[in-house]
Amino acid sequence: MNGLDQDSKPHFRSVLIYGMGMMGASLGWALRSRLSSCTVTGIVRTEKSAAFIRNNGLADRVLVLPDLSDCAALDLDSHDLVVLGLPVRSIVELIPVLPATDTLITDMSSTRREVHRSATERPDLRFVGAHPMCGSEDTGPAAFVKDLYVDRLCILTPGYLSEVRHANQKKHREDARLVEQFWRAMGMKIYYLDPDSHDELLAYLSHAPHVVSSILALWALSNRTVDNSIRESPMPITGGGFKDMARIAGSNPEMWTDILLSNQDNLIASLEHFVREMRDIIECLKNNEKNDRQDWFEWFARARRARNRLCWYSEDR
């Protein structure tokens, strides 16, 4: 098996990408472009996907597995790394039934606790979870993106060492380093986080904003004046601000149903927090004495600073 050699560059001679949708197909491209000596094997569900992967040279070998959980006959041992490229729900169903193997396993799921819980039930597997943050609204291998992973953030969630049997802690730490090196080799920056913090963080920075964007679209269209006006106007009335805020409401409903149902508690808590903040602002708007220009100016300026900090923009952006 692979190990750390002198210059800390791991040798991944053979990588299996288990599920080649947008993310997996883009990973195939990244491997061919960045680790050209590595043999890439892909698993897909349909002949159509397999043909696309082959025609675009996104893998050296493609296996078609109509039921992706039907993994009993798979040879995982001949690879240095298995990357699970399936949605969270499928991963949670797959991990418990994976054949025993000594091969390192990672994934790309955007919520971590369920995957992590599922992996701790299989202490025989060398699993180090990862969330490469480079989603897209588009799905399927044909939506693959060149250089998708370059200069993007990968959150690694190997979990607490205390969860690993003492004898295996050193190995688990080494495995995390190997997975880190793999994603670094794809061009990513690495940030370690425990699965609980990850899912809370993502509720705030991705999942709840997504729900807010969807509510925004439904809320606006349910107003009668809006509905009438968009019928009568000679062109869209929505400006750049609305379009930007509603953009992610156009994302893939299936993927987002998965994400929502795998992070419900954090979503509920963060959305309730959002409602409290909205209520405060509504109260300020209603309280006429408080409608001091200076107060609102400072509130907007504070929001602008918060946004700049969150997005790492300089103050003048």
Per CB under 8 A, contacts with its own copies among 179-208 are: 189-191, 193, 197, 200-201, 204-206
Per-residue contact track with its own copies, 208 to 247, x per CB under 8 A? -xxxxxxxxxxxxxxx-xx--xx-xxxxxxxx-xxxxxxx
Q: Which residues contact 80 (CB under 8 A, 6 or more apart)?
A: 1, 2, 11, 12, 13, 14, 15, 103, 104
Shortest reach from residue 106's CB to its own copies, in Å: 19
Kindly tell me which of 5 and 277 has the beta carbon lying closer to its own copies.
277
Shortest reach from residue 202's CB to its own copies, in Å: 9
Shortest reach from residue 207's CB to its own copies, in Å: 10
Residue type, 307: R
307 binds its own copies (CB under 8 A): yes
Shortest reach from residue 39's CB to its own copies, in Å: 31
Stretch that binds its own copies, among 34-42, 95-103, 130-138, 173-181 (CB under 8 A): 130-138
Shortest reach from residue 98's CB to its own copies, in Å: 24
- What the block records as the tokens of 227 is 């509905």
287 binds its own copies (CB under 8 A): no
CB neighbourhood size of 129 (10 A): 26
Checking DSSP bridges between strand 81-84 and strand 14-18, what pairing results, if any? parallel
Q: Tell me the β-bridge partners of 18.
A: 43, 84
Are 154 and 189 contacting, i.e. CB atoms less than 8 angstroms apart?
yes
Q: What are phi and psi of 57, to 5 degrees?
A: 60, 40
**Binding positions for its own copies, 134-163, rule CB under 8 A:** 134-135, 151, 153, 155
Kindly tell me which of 65 and 249 has the beta carbon lying closer to its own copies.
249
Are 53 and 141 contacting, i.e. CB atoms less than 8 angstroms apart?
yes
